[in-house]
Chains A and B, each alone.
Chain A
């Protein structure tokens, strides 16, 4: 059983436990900086990046403005190609549909390709409750699952684990899930990858049902696209008899030609590659090649609510490249778990509260988990103005319940930021470059001024923050990332 994000503490609390963990912090810093630099080089190779980005943005906006049309078009195309389309208004409906489809096959196991949509709906837990075991097959997801842990980064979910920990996790847990780790397994990454290959191969060969997400659905052709590196995606999409893909309704692109934009934007933004090792595209079913039963579950789960906000709707352009995480000074210090959902970092801060509707303290605190430096907007391949949406969401938090516990939770997030001078100096450096991108209402002459000047930020509760921040050193030792993050 893997954990869920339900019941996570609000941002400042969760960030506090993460920042206390020196190893997690060091791993994150190294990782985010490495990916960030590589990405910048990959993007610089294309002198028409700005034009690609503009097209990506416009194509997605057009899709969203006519989403009902494109959904129906995709439904028709997938059905015509031999697939079955299901619609799920929320997580419970989607989980019900998938569980029923699996049960109808008579199987009690499924193999899974990494999918954020299925994490969002807690599919693995829902299947477990029905006696169905879901095996994660992405290496990082496997590590997370074997460790009974939570992912912390969109692209490299086990970024908070280092090689020694991973070896221990494999040695300790592989046997419980299937083929045990090889004798004498060391912490050499190639050996660890080999252990994962052997462990999962037997599962791929016997799997009858696979569950995936998709990076894109082409409305005009009904084609689904999965972008990956390891080949676990190909295994899941090709070998089983039944394939169930759970995909958010915002993942559509209108035409086949549009892939020329997104398959240039995504790999370079995400893994900093000209092209990722494997991309699978399929349209319905193909006789005697791949699954003979294909089910597409179109998931709303708050997306249509997000669409209703004319400023916030741009969050639905997101192609989950994770570039915004890697440049975010707050993410780097707070860690992915602090965001309390499968969507961490800047995109999580604007997506989660909109999908879930600002109902609880986590969601209300997220729009404040940012210094509004604008670095996320600069790198976003579909030009989502994350600071603009954050400001809008802050207004919603304050308007919705002034003086309420939600607002207090939000203020604590802001306080966490003020207590991290390094976040601000990083923010300022970026702001120098991105000043033109700042929302007008929040000029950035200096960090404190920006905060105190903005009308959506009341006086900050200074003391309690100082208290926990000062106490943090006493507890800085003897914590593992897992214990900290899961609390």
Chain B
């Protein structure tokens, strides 16, 4: 008996008898007449667009400078009433320089979802952000930790540097590495399953706070 694989491939080939044999490149390439971006904004205008779109999908957006970042993060954690925060092992140490009296859980392969379930907040950086859609992308790269770190706690604080902001999806994709596990986040988790009424927060963090760092020293 032939394998399912061989049977399926044989059926697919038989079904495509009308297609001249040869590699896909024998076909003309798909047209791509769409825009590479829907905004011409750059610099502060691009950051403003990102902030606007993030806020539109109910993320809480803060804008600051790198000098003020530690203070702001301490404030955000305090305002949320957090007593513990989960962070990636390679979090820039200065980010939490102004945060005291707080239990820190450092991400490692041994940190379990069960442990994270008892943590108040998670603090990470990101791989990049997309201004047009109000999206942050995590890829388990620098200052991000494993995927579960930003999933299990109910509060996620994500820091974005100005140079990490891409205008659009077509401009963001080439900057991302497909081999890395990615989570694209556009606002806190939400459902509209009950009479189409939007409810924020089902299983992911119910509160998403994004800190956009302009980088210019104050």
Contact = CB atoms under 8 A, between A and B. Distances in A.
A and B: bona fide binding partners: yes
B79 interface: no
B204 A275 contact: no
Interface string A58-72: 110010011111111
Contact of B192 (A45, A88, A156, A289): A156
A280 B150 CA distance: 13
B4 A88 contact: yes
A158 interface: yes
B199 A193 contact: yes
Nearest to A63: B24
A189 B148 CA distance: 27
Interface stretch (A118-126, A194-202, A360-368, A401-409): A194-202
A67 B148 contact: no
Contacts of B24: 62, 65-66, 69-70, 254
A contact residues, range: 35 or more
Given A231-B202, A238-B147, A290-B147, A62 B27 contact: yes
A400 B151 CA distance: 53
Interface in B193-218: 193-197, 199, 201-205
B143 to A, nearest CB: 15
B12 A234 contact: no
Given A139-B193, A239-B113, A256-B178, A310 B18 contact: yes
B146 interface: yes
A88 B196 CA distance: 36
A277 B34 contact: no
Secondary structure of the A side of the interface? helix
Contacts of A62: 24, 27, 30
A223 interface: yes
A304 B151 contact: no
Contact of A93 (B4, B31, B134): B4
Interface in B74-132: 109, 113-114, 117, 130, 132
A87 to B, nearest CB: 4
Nearest to A280: B183
Interface string A21-60: 0000001001100110000000001111001101100110
Contacts of B12: 67-68, 71, 249, 304, 307
Contacts of A259: 169, 173
B63 interface: no
B16 A189 contact: no
B196 A196 contact: no
B196 A34 contact: yes
Given A52-B34, A289-B140, A277 B194 contact: no
Given A55-B31, A229-B191, A282-B181, A193 B202 contact: yes
A457 interface: no
A48 B178 contact: no
A185 interface: no
Interface residues of B, number: 70
Nearest to A38: B196
Contacts of A249: 8, 12
Contacts of A307: 12, 15-16
A226 to B, nearest CB: 10
Given A54-B33, A277-B185, A278-B189, A200 B8 contact: no
Given A256-B173, A261-B34, A275 B186 contact: yes
Nearest to A268: B133
Contacts of B132: 274
A319 B187 CA distance: 23
B193 to A, nearest CB: 4
Contacts of A201: 117, 203
B128 to A, nearest CB: 14
Contacts of B15: 304-305, 307-308, 313
Contact of B170 (A27, A47, A221, A260): A260
Contacts of A68: 9, 12-13, 16
B203 A67 contact: no
B196 A35 contact: yes
Contacts of A273: 57, 186
Given A166-B194, A273-B186, A307-B12, 6 more contacts: A51-B31, A58-B30, A69-B23, A249-B12, A288-B109, A304-B8
The 9 closest A-B pairs by CB, nearest first: A231-B204, A231-B203, A308-B15, A304-B11, A58-B30, A288-B109, A231-B189, A307-B15, A230-B202
16 contacts: A65-B19, A189-B199, A192-B194, A193-B201, A200-B203, A204-B203, A230-B204, A274-B53, A277-B204, A279-B183, A281-B178, A288-B146, A289-B148, A290-B181, A300-B11, A304-B12
